[in-house]
Structures are given as C-alpha cells and as structure tokens.
Amino acid sequence: MAITGNTTAPTPLWEEVQKFYPYLLPAPAQLPLIEALDQFYSDYHPNLLIVETDPEGIITYVNEDFAKAAGYSTAELLGQNINILRSDANEPGYFRDLWNTITSGMPWRGRIKNRTRDYELYEIDMVILPIPKQDGSIHRYLAFAYDTTKSLATEKQLIQLRTDFEEGLRYARRIQRAIFPTKVNALQKFFPESFLLSNGRDIVSGDFCWVARSPMANRTFLAVADCTGHGIPGGLLTVIGYNLLNQIVLYRGITVPHQILAEMHKGLREYFLQEDSEETRLVKDGMDIILCSFDYGMTEVQFAGANRPLWLVRNGELQEYKTDKQPIGGEKLAEDVEFRIFTLDLEPEDRIYLFTDGITDQFGGPDNKRFGTARLRQTILDIWAEPSMTKQRALFNNIWKREWMADNPPTDDATLVGIRVVD
C-alpha cells in the first residue's frame, strides 16, 4: 500500500521513526519515507529487526531481535561499524548501489546476505531510511529488517520437493513407456499399416494402448483405454488395467472381448476392495475402453467397449459403432456388469479408428472451443484416403495439435489409433 499526495497519515513504523526523530522534514518531504515504511510494514509484521547508524556506519541503536539474528548482544554491537556483519555473498557492486541511494537521501529496500558472529550466512529483507537534519544533510540511517533465512530455507525445501516429485513423475513416465506401446513401431509390429498418436496432459498419462497376440486363439488384440484422472492417479490405473488385460487374455486364456471387459471389472474390484473399509468403499475410479479382437487374416473384428466407440471408414463413409454406456469400475464397482459383443466383417482398405475423449475435448481454434465429435469426424473423412498411415498421422497431428490446439495447454490425455486393413 503506497501513500500519495500531501497526506502524512502515520503508519506504525512511521510512528516508531518519530519516536527517534520528532524534528523530521516537513510533510511533503516525508512522503518517500512514509511510503517505504508503509510497504515494508505490510509485508513483515511483527518480528522486525531495527538498527540505526551514524553517517559513517557506526551502530548507535540496535534492538534485541536484530542483535539475536546476528548472533550478538545489543551491547556487543553498539559502537561497531555495521560492516562487521557484511559478507561477500552479495553481488559485486550491490553495496555501492545501496550506498549511492541512501546518501542521495532516498530510502532503499532490498535483500542483504549478512554473516553472523559464527560466520554463518543469514538473509534479511531491509528498508534503510536516511534521516536528514533541518539543513537536508544526513543525520542518521535508520533500518528496519526481517530475517528471511527461515522462509528462504522453506522455499528451497519446497523447490527440492517439487524437483523430487517431478523426477518421480518422469521416472514413472519412463516405466509407462517401457510397458506401453507409445511408439508407432510397437503397434506396427502387429498392424503394419497403422499409426498411434498419444498426447499426455501431464508427465504421467492416464491413457494407455495395449496390443497382444494369442496364438492359442489365433487372434490379435488391441485396446485403447482412458483411466479416471490425470497424473499419478491415472498413471496407477493404467498399470493396473494393462496388467489385468495380460492376466485375463494371455494367462487365463479368456479371448472374447465382452468377457474380457467383464473380467477386468471384477479384477478392478479385487484391487480396490481387498478390505471392506470406509476408505475403500469411497473408491469410484475406473476406465473407459474399446477392446478389439482381429483374426490373423484381418477379415473380421470382434469388439466390446465401455463408453468408447469404434469408427469404421469404408469407401469414404464413416460408420460409428457405439458400445455400452458404462465404465470398467466406477460407480458400479461393487456389482457384476455385462457388456455386449459386436462383430464386423472387414474388407481390404477399410480404416478403423479408436480414440479417447481427450481428442474431442481439446480446447482450441479461434474461439477456444472443444474440438468436438463432428470436427473429428470431418477430419477423419478428410484424411482417410491417404494410404500411408504414417502420413495420416502427420496430417491429423497438423490439424489437431498444431492448428487447433496450438499454444493451448492439453485439456486431457489424448490417444488416437488408426488401422488400414490390407490383404
């Protein structure tokens, strides 16, 4: 808060100054001092450190808090030059600028790194007031300060905690990338003509793509899932979901999509409700997912879904196949749920697209609106005829991310998978 005009309204520190010097300058000349004190008092109160020196820097008054911060008694500091506390930790020229300011009669405020009696550094935020005589020459320097060493240490601790937290997230992301097929070539191992676009909102993603082959069933499986939440909560669910799919399909041999989803729901319940407590009963986390099963010849796809559709483009026409409007887990975690199964015959040059809602929910464009389902549909129809799925990905990325999203932050984790059926 700054005081302007010709007012001389007293502030607590101004009243303190007047106890020392009742003969200060007339009101207009007092304003810079009042403003400096008023701002400082609003930042730090109480626990103020106070010190006064003569024009040569000899300490003529010091309060107990100031002396204690420096590791001295008040008696030990009186008569000493203020430079006894000076350290070399301040930037070159720092004290020269300070001195030039106060000798010109102007208040100075800044942070100073001093050294205690035991040669330990401590930092203070200080305002120094030149106290003039009636003729305008400097009579005394009066300084009020606040020890910021503890707050600085706390700030450093917070910075370190944040650094450790971010390093943990980056490590979790590396684990995710080691587990999940986040690169195109991982998907193309099973689907030679395909692409994968993955854009996380945070360092750790709540979306995941799962692909596996079951020689026993002669089927190739592909899932795109969107777990509840972002960051760490979503990331933990992705690992659980990925492991459940591996257990159910590859180890237990359940290979029919709607049965796989029902077993995932049960498996999630076992993870979260291992003990009956108020805390576990509050768990409502889950995931939306589209799960496909292809025969080796790519002539048929069976699929089931939880809140996610399958899009098929054939001869320039896009058909949307909606699945069940219920998640894996969620509000019905404690109940057994059933899912429907869909079967489609495939033809060469068909295109299949699977995506999470982060694609359609992304804000951007000239009016900062959601990308939306209609715009996604039109974008797919604009690019589907490109035979190279690698180029399709580049085309979509240019439209969705570079042009639409642009400088906007990610709204959600977003995943899009495209597959071209080949002979």
End-to-end C-alpha distance for the chain, whole angstroms? 75
225 close to 289: Cβ distance less than 8 angstroms: yes
Residues forming CATH 3.30.450.20 domain(s) in the chain: 12-147
Angstrom distance (rounded) from CA 383 to CA 222: 22
pLDDT of 48 > 60? The answer is yes
If you average pLDDT over residues 201-224, what whole number do you get? 88
Taking residues 2-14, report their average pLDDT: 38
pLDDT, mean of residues 119-134: 83
How many C-beta atoms surround the C-beta of residue 324 within 10 A? Answer: 16
The topology (CATH level 3) of 12-147 is Beta-Lactamase (3.30.450)
Band (pLDDT 50/70/90 cuts) for residue 229 is low
Every domain of the chain with CATH number 3.60.40.10 lies at: 180-420
CATH superfamily of 180-420: PPM-type phosphatase domain (3.60.40.10)
Is the sign of the CA dihedral 61, 63, 66, 71 positive or negative?
A: positive
Give the Cα separation of 423 and 409 in Å (integer): 40
> Residue 137 has what pLDDT?
81
In this predicted structure, the answer to whether residue 381 has a pLDDT above a threshold of 60 is yes
Tens-digit pLDDT profile for residues 264-323: 999 988 877 755 555 555 566 789 999 999 999 999 999 999 999 999 999 999 999 999
Q: Which of 215-219, 237-241, 383-387 is the most confident on average?
A: 383-387
Rounded to the nearest angstrom, the gap between the alpha carbon of residue 152 and the centroid of all alpha carbons in its chain is 23
Q: What does the CA dihedral 189, 191, 194, 195 come to, rounded to 10 degrees?
A: -40
Rounded to whole angstroms, the Cα distance separating 349 from 419 reads 9
> What average pLDDT is seen over the chain?
82
Q: What is the predicted pLDDT for the residue at 282?
A: 52
The answer, yes or no, to whether residue 99 has pLDDT greater than 50, is: yes
What pLDDT is stored for residue 5 in this prediction? 28
Least-confidence region, from 267-271, 326-330, 413-417? 267-271
Gap between the Cα atoms of 239 and 208, Å rounded: 9
Tokens read off for 326: 């219920």
Order of strands across the sheet that contains 108-115: 59-62, 49-53, 138-147, 121-132, 108-115
pLDDT digits (tens, 9 = 90+) for 292-309: 999 999 999 999 999 999
Q: How confident is the model at residue 158 (pLDDT cuts 50, 70, 90)?
A: low
The percent of residues in the chain predicted with pLDDT above 70, rounded, is: 76
Tell me how far apart the alpha carbons of residues 297 and 345 are, in angstroms, rounded to a whole number: 11
pTM of the predicted protein model:
0.62
